[in-house]
Structure 1
Amino acid sequence: MSDGLTDIEKAAVLLISLGESDAAEILKHLGPKEVQRIGEAMSRLDNVPQSRVESVVSDFLDVVGDQTGIGINNDRYIRAMLNQALGEDKAKTLIDRILFSTNTSGLDTLRWMDARQVAEIIRFEHPQIQAVIVSYLEPDQAANVLSFFDDKVRLDIVMRVAALDQIQPQALQELNDMLESQFSGPRSTQLTRLGGVKSAANIMNFIDTQIEAELMDAIKESDEGLANQISDLMFVFDNLLDVEDRGIQVILREIQTDQLVVALKGADSQLQEKIFKNMSKRAAELLRDDLEAKGPVRISEVESAQKEILNVARRLADEGEITLGGGDDMI
């Protein structure tokens, strides 16, 4: 039986059992985030019994037996994961097939790259091209890319991201052409919606706390109204107060107690109480004791722990497990 394995672990067992060629065919339909999570699960597998492998394959066949195809969303990271899971030599074949497939456009391939690589690729491009590319990336990757630019350039890019709305297909094709020596992609004839204030806010959510504060001050100095719009759309740690109780419970299952203790050192009493009430009585008592026993913690450590918890919350929201910022309950 494959009971006891998570869906991600089942996927890892299935892919390892398939071999490089077949695994590559599947992985190239996944996005970087999915591949990263599966790869991390692959690296943790150890001495999986043959009976369990057979059970995972059987479960998979039962699920897809009446389907004509498997629809998978696109997203993020692969290199380090596959190197760690399979070793550099074996991983190279998969990386080449997945990252440099002719079905991957230049812009899509940027999503798989290290943030420093992307920053170097766009460093000397026109600021508007930089903004379009940053808008196209996932918010956390975009935030990492921005960290490799100085304050002035970072401000300019974020302001341009916030001002974006739609982009002509020729402009997107131009970006693909810029990378055509390595990548190619199909042409589009439809306007693509990119950027906007919400996109800027999402990127700001992932930027280092100190840089975020400095950047927000700079935006406010340049355009106070825009700064207020971005601020209103950002999801910060205190906004967990607006998350329904069920959502808080889901988040708590995904984070470590030590991490939570540090994060709550910088939270107000109202948020602390919300956390306590969504735990068992015993767990809440232990958490209170840990908080009281915890000595002084650096602000940077508190902010880092809070960012990590927010990253978990955003991932769960992306997966449809919870809703952020209030709204209707999940059913």
Structure 2
Amino acid sequence: MTGLNQRQKAAVIVRLLLDDDEVAGLDRLNSDAQTLLAQEMAGMEVIDRQTRDAVITEFCDRLESVGVTFPGGLDGTLAMLGQRLSDDSTESLRRAAAISGQTDPWARLCALPRESLIALANAESVELVALMLSKLPVEAASATFIALPRERARVVAQAMSMTSGVTPAALRRVGLVLLHAAEALPKPAIPTPACDRMGAILNFAAADLRDDVLGALDERDVEFADGVRKAIFIFAHIPTRIEPREVPRIVRELDQSTLVRALAATAEGDAAAADFILTNLSQRMADGLREEREALGKPRTKEVEEAMTEVVSTIRRLQEEGQLTLLMPQDDE
């Protein structure tokens, strides 16, 4: 017998794991459990060797008696099942859990597409919309706010001053109300907006074809054309859409010969993007890339365009994987 209660034994095990930096998973405990554990550790001082060994032995015996464990929650279960469930099944489970109150509704709301967020922002009371914008990631909140009619945007902005005193319980109720409202919105057969789909297609079109298509769209539907322009992300947009600190991460994902060819671009916007990349790398790396670019001479236009397309594809992949976030497009892009 050690004379320690279960929390104190847990504190001993965690303290031993801390010596080896092996405490991954503590963040999966709820906040109350984390607090209790920390309080136990704060109230303990010296544990003798015999007691320590007894706690370790008991812990190991309990581990050996365990046959199988389950995550004990939906998020953990879905992570364990991974790709074995269809996207529709995963989505249905998450939606049902959020609506029933089993999980945080705000996680679902933050994952809604931009069009759904804008629809909610136009339909719900300004107080609810102000709370929604307070909880959304900054980029999503900004895109939603900018899309509001000017007068409604002013009223929502004024309502933001009343969000500071909201309690966690009230915030959760608001999240459930908004999630129910989101579930009632019409579901398009093709989830990706048409302007985004067209923009993604034009990302990889030649510059002259892209300009020709956008010109034709301007003549027929200015609003759609504007949406397509905002969805397009090309090499020349890198200085305005990429945070300088993200440049080294992007470069690490690229084959160096591909990067050098892309940096050889001579068109005004593309050359500015190449300078932006070089400026935000270490001096040594930037000088090395400049030397390789000089040694390359004048590559064929097609080779440069293919290299720039590869850079854009890499950035898009990192964005889809959640490893970087594109900044909002400028009005003149």
TM over 0.5: no
Answer 1 or 2: which has greater helix percent.
Answer: 2
Give TM-score scaled by structure 1 length.
0.40
Which protein shows a greater Rg?
A: 2
